[in-house]
Chain A
Amino acid sequence: GAVVSQHPSWVICKSGTSVKIECRSLDFQATTMFWYRQFPKQSLMLMATSNEGSKATYEQGVEKDKFLINHASLTLSTLTVTSAHPEDSSFYICSAPSGGVTGELFFGEGSRLTVL
């Protein structure tokens, strides 16, 4: 099946700094990617839809100026958490649709962010 790779798998940063997470589709092109956030023992909450070559679409309640998304190529989307605070500590997971008739989403490994 298709492979989505996410980096870094975990990161610790100081409050007020910015952190960039990369999501790559390794063997297929993804015009769309989805970014989810998962707090401990909770579900995956959709944050935004990343669109190659255009602005991302953010879900209600997600601050677009805080969570910057860039989808500059057909295989790479990045999520930058700006001015991170402890409450931003979470598991961030990207995904890309297979693009075929199945509708299946392929998930990255996830990135665990801890803000001190």
Chain B
Amino acid sequence: DAKTTQPNSMESNEEEPVHLPCNHSTISGTDYIHWYRQLPSQGPEYVIHGLTSNVNNRMASLAIAEDRKSSTLILHRATLRDAAVYYCILRAPNYGGSQGNLIFGKGTKLSVKP
């Protein structure tokens, strides 16, 4: 399975944008890039995913490099509630295959200062 590399931790100020990087140099052409986050004492929460084009939803934006070897999760205005561990995960579409599990790394722990 292709692996991802993320910084262990990052800090941000409240109401400022946050850019969380992820490197995935061995990504295959059909791997989707997924982001999940885990708030303290909660299960992981789906944030966003994309294949090649940049993606936006109500929670965040996902910027994907042209060569797809890296991506960046963008939180446009960080709030204290965004303090969490953010996981970047590669997921094969696996249509008709036998496994659809997520492979989590250690993620990036984001701290947000008031």
B and A form one assembly: no
